[in-house]
A and B are shown apart, each in its own frame.
Chain A
Amino acid sequence: MTRPATLLSDAPVTSNAPYDVERVRQDFPILTRLVHERKGRPGKPLVYLDNAASAQKPRAVIDAMSGLLERDYANVHRGVHFLSQRSTDLYEATRDKVAKLLNAPSRENIVFTRNATEAFNLVAQSWGRTFLKTGDVVLLSYMEHHANIVPWQLLRDQTGIRIEVVPVLDDGSLDLDAYEKALKTLAVKLVAITHSSNVLGTVNPVRQMARLAHEHGATVLFDGSQAVVHRPVDVQAIDADLYVFTAHKLYGPTGIGVLYGKKAVLDAMPPYQGGGDMISTVTFEKTTFREAPYRFEAGTPPIIEGVGLGAAIDYVTALGLDAIQAHEQRLLAYATERLREIEGLRIIGTAPEKAAIISFTIDGIHPHDIGTFVDRAGVAVRVGRHCAEPLMDRFGVGATCRASFGLYNTEAEADALVEAVKATKAFFG
């Protein structure tokens, strides 16, 4: 196996070549497999439309991770020996890549976590416990993932903060008037809202929201898990104080997530977990901690996953996030139009600005049944509450089907979804 050549080099940021989705698909080994193969019966080509749950991995990510394990692996930040240095360089290079991806001022703004969920818990327990007191308001929205709800409830039970929730309009847009009113009338200290909804696809006007929050003295935390995968994100232009995302939805591995924080915000936060790697000196009387971001990274970090994330960032930036966004927006428009052909199909989430995520229900057929049927046609969609139960309640549905498109999906796959849904409808009569 050859070592990926680009691991330590600057990846090309943009490409002027037209977006060749068939070429892109060849980079993803899993997309060639068949599903539901049975004796005497060929399987169905995989149509993977569950990217918002987790995306598939390009060969470059797989090779970077196995390459590290085969040639370069050792613990990081510790050894003086050759491999430890090599492993540290490869792992830490990802911090630079993340900083560049988000246009963060410095690599020191980038904290590695286990996933986006841990990043939220880190902020709640470190920043929240330090700066929030009884009666202070954390402002969420109805379109939050449970990962951005439950950590605040735990904090509420510990400290007596209040949680207030910004409503969502019928088309799935955030109610900005209610948002502004909440900032004006409540003691909002933190806004913790998603950049893009994992159910509705809605892309929120985060720049405007951050400006309004700052005018009222609130700190802002955005959930970028569904945003960084679909579009270029510039945390400085947004003026986010804190921003989180997870690697596995960005075509990288599970087990690593990112917390971006402004330097002043991170510097004011105490450690979240204690252990090795996050300390300067330890005696039994007193321990001094390292500076951010390392203060928040206790114990041996996700080294292999970090290298995988670096390769994933190289991959998407080489394709160009603008180009990915344009491709997915074409797909979104096409799939939306085709799904609308189906009588009784209701799309939940029709905001003017959307990522390539389509949640839908069909009169008289439960999403779980639809999911089982389209799966038999090789089409992988998510069914259920999508870790967003309050949002399901808001739209009066117990569950939805969700088709979420990624950089390797095609119009033919949208057609496959539509045909499978039509056949399901025919079965149930």
Chain B
Amino acid sequence: MFDDLRDLYQEVILDHGKNPRNFGKPDGFNRTARGDNPMCGDKITVYLTLGSDGRIADVRFDGRGCAISQASASLMTEMLKGKEPKEAEALFGAFHDMCTKDEEEWTDHGPLDEEAMDKLQVLSGVREFPMRVKCATLAWHTMNAALHGDPVASTENAGF
């Protein structure tokens, strides 16, 4: 019955959805934002700890949402540690393209962590499910808002 959903709900996603990594509010974070997807009720908060070298020393999140949004947040936290903010933004831009556009329409976001991009491929299935793109990108929008000092990211005005 669900054959074509296996592209969207791959094992990695089910695993991260059930056992999200870096879950829970940390001590000592210095940037945070709340992300809200009013259409489906997903709410997450991303906590960033920027180190004295300007790099992202730690990323954690909490909140609740569907398997896709939880897995996306979990995967994101695994790959942003140690990155400079502009590297995180580049990854966000490239991931957003992956979720929303054909490959020939992807724009150049500068040098990318190719290993991270490979891992994010498991979420590219949302392109076939327009209603679920917001689920996959909510954590990234929220992280981006936190980086820029915005307290709230909403998928309703994030320009989908």
Residues of A within 8 A of B (CB): 38, 364-369, 372-373, 376-377, 383-385, 389, 392, 398-399, 420, 423-424, 427-428
Contacts and interface: CB of A to CB of B under 8 A. Distances in A.
B42 A372 contact: no
A77 B70 CA distance: 56
Contact of B41 (A369, A373, A384, A420): A384
Nearest to B5: A376
Contact of B64 (A385, A398, A423, A427): A398
Interface in B14-48: 14, 18, 38-43
Given A377-B1, A385-B40, 10 more contacts: A365-B67, A366-B65, A368-B132, A372-B131, A373-B2, A376-B5, A384-B39, A389-B41, A398-B43, A423-B1
A161 to B, nearest CB: 26
Given A384-B40, A428-B14, A420 B1 contact: yes
Nearest to B63: A398
A398 B14 contact: no
Contact of B65 (A372, A377, A389, A398): A398
B1 A372 contact: no
Given A399-B41, A427-B9, A376 B1 contact: yes
B68 A369 contact: yes
Interface residues of B, number: 24
Contact of A368 (B1, B4, B14, B66): B66
Given A384-B39, A385-B41, A368 B135 contact: yes
B17 to A, nearest CB: 8
Contact of B67 (A369, A399, A423): A369
Nearest 3 interchain pairs by C-beta: A399-B41, A368-B66, A366-B66
19 contacts: A38-B4, A365-B67, A366-B66, A366-B70, A368-B135, A372-B5, A372-B129, A373-B5, A383-B40, A384-B39, A384-B41, A385-B38, A385-B41, A389-B41, A398-B42, A398-B43, A398-B65, A399-B41, A423-B2
Given A373-B2, A423-B1, A428-B14, A368 B129 contact: no
Nearest to A365: B67
Nearest to A38: B4
B41 A392 contact: yes
A372 B14 CA distance: 14
B5 A398 contact: no
Interface in B34-86: 38-43, 64-68, 70
A396 to B, nearest CB: 11
Given A427-B9, A428-B14, A368 B40 contact: yes
A392 B129 CA distance: 25
Contacts of A420: 1
A34 to B, nearest CB: 15
A137 B13 CA distance: 49
Nearest to A387: B38
A383 B68 CA distance: 15
A38 B9 CA distance: 19
Residue among A38, A364, A399, A428 with max Cβ neighbours from chain B (10 Å): A399
A375 to B, nearest CB: 9
A410 to B, nearest CB: 20
B65 A376 contact: no
Contacts of B5: 372-373, 376, 427
Contacts of B131: 372
Contacts of B64: 366, 398
Given A383-B40, A398-B41, A369 B4 contact: no
Contacts of A423: 1-2
A363 to B, nearest CB: 12
A7 to B, nearest CB: 38
A293 B6 CA distance: 55
Nearest to B6: A427
A365 B66 CA distance: 7
Residue among A366, A373, A383, A428 with max Cβ neighbours from chain B (10 Å): A366
B103 to A, nearest CB: 22
B138 to A, nearest CB: 11
A376 B2 contact: yes
A399 B40 contact: yes
Contacts of B43: 398
Contacts of B2: 373, 376, 423-424, 427
A385 B135 CA distance: 15
B131 to A, nearest CB: 8
A368 B42 contact: yes
A424 B41 CA distance: 20
Contacts of B42: 368, 398-399
A14 B148 CA distance: 64
